[in-house]
Structure 1
Amino acid sequence: MRKIPLLVRIILAITLGILIGLIVPEGAIEVFATFTGIFNNFLIFVIPFIILGFIAPGIASMGRGAGKMLGVTAGLAYVSTILAGIAAFFVSKNLFPVMLGSQTADEMANPEESLVEASFTIEMEPVMGVMAALILSFILGVGMSAIKGDTLYNAMNEFRAIIHKVIEKIIIPLLPFHIFGVFANMAHGGQVGTILSVFSKVFVMILILHWVYLISVYGIAGGLHRANPLRLLKNLMPAYFTALGTQSSAATIPVTLKHTKQIGVKERVADFSVPLLANVHLAGSTITITACAMAVMFMQGQSLGFMELLPFILMLGITMVSAPGVPGGAVMAAVGLLESMLGFSSVMVSLMIALYLAQDSFGTATNVTGDGAITSIVDHFSKDKEKGAYDIKKEQLG
């Protein structure tokens, strides 16, 4: 199973869940519901640790960076991520009533009512709430950056490695079975047709948003360097397709680094910015999570205004800092915010995870390809005296 890409496993889980849910008796669905209930409780238990393990060492490591360049790079990454989420909100807000109009609120309101209940459950109370984990993460991250000590910093990095293993070895392998159970239950309850119709439409819209974002950010980079933005974007396509296969920003760093230097970014700037951006720049993931969350809420007959969703987008840009280089890391970090800030139920979270993971590789590809553009913009504002390909070409042209 490990040799099968996660996207293929998710598609198989959805397909088999629908087929089996239509034909098996309620007793079998009850078994699936029991597993999904236990898994969901485990996920809720782990969420505060995911937040603490990602954010605290991420903020601490950024605080130990190279001063002004760190500030410029991290600032641009955050602005890019937030603007991407805001754009996804407005597009979703205006298009979903047209695209998903046939999926009325009555069709999907309170989906829990038609689902088969678990035969038993195992309570797993989190050791702290989501907001408590966020606040503690900021305190520890800023504190470790300020005192410059290594003891707690090394301990937090080891804690992050443990959480990374929990996600990589337990949560991600079991997610297809969880999604299988959710879709089998919904197919048994007669809701799956509406969900699949929504999935297909939202999937296409998100891909279009990804490419609009990439063209826009490379347009800015090209304008600053007086270079053809489409040529710059074309040169980063190896990184895009590598990310599609690996589903990991971290695993794509060598390819992103190589091709970012080839478009003319100074070597020192690229060596610093690309690895940093792989952890803090998640514009593609933010587009996906924002659009998916709004789609799930639309199916529930819920609607939020811009000022109501903006705090979620702002927190999302921070919560995903240093999300692990494993498939689904971004949405795992976002689950706590979905529950605490948007009031997502366990069924809504399950739909959200399935919808996100179905195109996770495209969001990751957008993240890493966008890293090249952000690095190019950082290069423009860098005072580094080293000459890059942009500078050499200008000298040759006289």
Structure 2
Amino acid sequence: MNLIFRLVLGIVAGVLLGQWAPDILVRSLLTFKVLFGELLEYAIPLIILFFIMSGIARLERSSGRLLALTMVLAYASTTLAGLMSAVVGLELVPHIVSHTQMPASHPMVLQPYFALDIPPLTDISTALVTAFLFGIGISATGHDGLRNLADGGRDIVERFIAKALIPALPFYIAGLFCEMTIAGTVANTLKSFGMILILALTLHWLWLSLLYLASGMSTGRAPLVALRNMLPAYFTAAGTMSSAATIPVTVRQTRLNHISPSVSSFAIPLLATIHMCGSAITLTICAIGVILVTPALPQPDLMSLLPFIAALGVTIIAAPGSPGGAAMTSVGVLQSLLGFDAAAVGLMMALYLAQDSFGTACNVAGDGALVQWIDRFAEAEQDRQRYR
């Protein structure tokens, strides 16, 4: 919550500086914005490489048909939630942002004092393919040395995100909104993106309602009762902004829904890592909004968003546990499939972090619906084994 406060403070500071700050201060802020963007571009392939490789490699620690079902359900829920968000977003977001546009370039003579050329070690596509190749290979071979390398690289990059990128993000956001203020687009931008975040929150609850209705109808459990029992986990996740930190509460609440202890103890920690329906909804709806207000990006349509949603369901499995982790992990997909530049990525980060607590809460509450199917499958498996 402190991060959200600092992001809001960065937006306010950017608006005030764009209106009244002297040129020397504005140019200094623009210089920081450019340097941060270059550093982010450098870090993105490393984030993709180590997080996805480590995330896939870890999945081999459990095995069996129950694991396969859990992964299929999590991926289906995440991608279908993103698809719903895309359909609704393509219909509604253009009307919300119809009078909003990001400045294509700084409209004044003011320029950054300097810029550094920091080329990334590899491009996005190479990092993605390498991460999948080695992640699957480590999972199949059980190579401890490569797994330790992947986990060590992930820990280093996660520390860099937590200690450098995330703390510096409010200053970068201040630079973006300073530029928009000078361009005269900041008022419409703030209004439009506030409405987009309300739309995202509405879609969270729509998807949760559909999940619990479907799981209740297929398993014979009362959907409203099951959803009500998961509300303590929802609000705990909203307060902690962490699915992992909410696991004890989630396990306790699922047992109120008569989920067997063995299933909840297995499925909930795994779903906390791989089920990201709320994150997918927000990332998709915010991506549509950012594309529509950025003149350099092509207009979105469902066919261009489908590969993004499909890839997003895989990449955010490896999201770090820090605030904004899903957005950080999705940056590579945003750039490679949707053509986002550093400014568009920065705006996405600001939008995502503004609702990160509610996206996490949706992820956690959705786990309670999926675990009902998993529990029913486990019961059927036990019956099948019993009568063999």
TM-score band by shorter chain is: over 0.9
The DSSP-based 3-state class of the residue aligned with 2:318 is coil
Q: Is residue 2:175 matched to residue 1:181?
A: yes
Amino acid at match of 2:299: S
Distance in 2 (alpha carbons) for counterparts of 1:367 and 1:215: 13
Name which of structure 1's ranges 366-375 and 113-122 shifts more when overlaid on structure 2. Answer: 113-122
Equivalent in 290, 309, 312 of residue 308 of structure 2:
312
1:249: which partner in 2? 243
Equivalent in 162, 171, 178 of residue 165 of structure 2:
171
Aligned CA-pair RMSD: 1.8
1:269: which partner in 2? 263
| Correspondence 1:191-270 to 2 at 5 A | 191-270=185-264
Structure 1, unpaired ranges of 5+: 388-398
The Cα of 1:154 is off from its aligned counterpart by 2.1
Equivalent in 266, 275, 288 of residue 281 of structure 1:
275
1:136: which partner in 2? 130
The Cα of 1:87 is off from its aligned counterpart by 0.4
Give the 3 Å change call, closer, same or farther, for CA 115–131 of structure 1 in structure 2.
Answer: farther
The Cα of 1:281 is off from its aligned counterpart by 0.8
2:61: which partner in 1? 64
The Cα of 1:344 is off from its aligned counterpart by 1.4
The DSSP-based 3-state class of the residue aligned with 2:193 is helix
Contact 1:62 1:70 survives alignment (8 Å): no
2:386: which partner in 1? none
- CA deviations 1:244-267 (Å, max 9, x no partner) are 111111222221122122211111
Give the 3 Å change call, closer, same or farther, for CA 178–315 of structure 1 in structure 2.
Answer: same
Contact 1:73 1:273 survives alignment (8 Å): yes
Contact 1:224 1:380 survives alignment (8 Å): no
Distance in 1 (alpha carbons) for counterparts of 2:217 and 2:57: 34
Q: TM-score, normalised by structure 2?
A: 0.94
Contact 2:103 2:180 survives alignment (8 Å): no
Matched residues, percent identical? Answer: 41
Distance in 2 (alpha carbons) for counterparts of 1:261 and 1:28: 56
Contact 2:107 2:182 survives alignment (8 Å): no
Distance in 1 (alpha carbons) for counterparts of 2:341 and 2:107: 12
Distance in 1 (alpha carbons) for counterparts of 2:225 and 2:122: 49
Contact 1:54 1:320 survives alignment (8 Å): no
| Correspondence 1:99-110 to 2 at 5 A | 99-103=96-100, 107-108=101-102, 110=104
In the comparison of the two structures, how many residue pairs are matched?
Answer: 381
The Cα of 1:110 is off from its aligned counterpart by 2.1
Give the 3 Å change call, closer, same or farther, for CA 324–374 of structure 1 in structure 2.
Answer: same
Q: Is residue 2:72 matched to residue 1:49?
A: no
Contact 1:21 1:29 survives alignment (8 Å): yes
Distance in 2 (alpha carbons) for counterparts of 1:281 and 1:242: 17
Give the 3 Å change call, closer, same or farther, for CA 115–263 of structure 1 in structure 2.
Answer: farther
1:393: which partner in 2? none
Contact 2:78 2:277 survives alignment (8 Å): yes
The Cα of 1:89 is off from its aligned counterpart by 0.5
The Cα of 1:290 is off from its aligned counterpart by 0.5
The Cα of 1:328 is off from its aligned counterpart by 0.3
Q: Is residue 2:154 matched to residue 1:157?
A: no
Distance in 1 (alpha carbons) for counterparts of 2:109 and 2:214: 49
Equivalent in 285, 294, 299 of residue 303 of structure 1:
299
Q: TM-score, normalised by structure 1?
A: 0.91
Name which of structure 1's ranges 287-296 and 230-239 shifts more when overlaid on structure 2. Answer: 230-239
Give the 3 Å change call, closer, same or farther, for CA 384–156 of structure 1 in structure 2.
Answer: farther
